[in-house]
Amino acid sequence: MDRLRRAALKLALGEQPTEDLPMLAAEALADGLDSPALVELAGLSRRDPPADIRDLFVEAMAELGLPVPGVEDAWRERMLGAAEGMLNGSLTHLEASNEIYWCACHLERTDTTTELVHRFIGLWSSWEDWPDERASIERDMRLAAADLLRSHGKQVPERVRLPALSDTE
pLDDT in tens, 19-32: 999 999 999 999 99
Q: What's the confidence (pLDDT) of residue 53?
A: 97
Query: In this structure, are residues 52 and 44 in contact, taking their beta carbons and an 8 Å threshold?
Result: yes
Reduced to 3 states (helix: H, G, I; strand: E, B; else coil), residue 107 is coil
Q: What's the confidence (pLDDT) of residue 159?
A: 58
Percentage helix, strand, coil for the chain under 3-state DSSP, each rounded to 5: 70, 0, 30
Q: What's the confidence (pLDDT) of residue 165?
A: 42
Q: Which residues of the chain have pLDDT under 50?
A: 163-169
Confidence (pTM): 0.83
Q: What's the confidence (pLDDT) of residue 167?
A: 45
Between helix 93-105 and helix 111-129 the angle, nearest 10°, is 150
User: End-to-end alpha-carbon separation of the chain, Å?
Assistant: 43
The span from the CA of 53 to the CA of 20, in Å, is 9
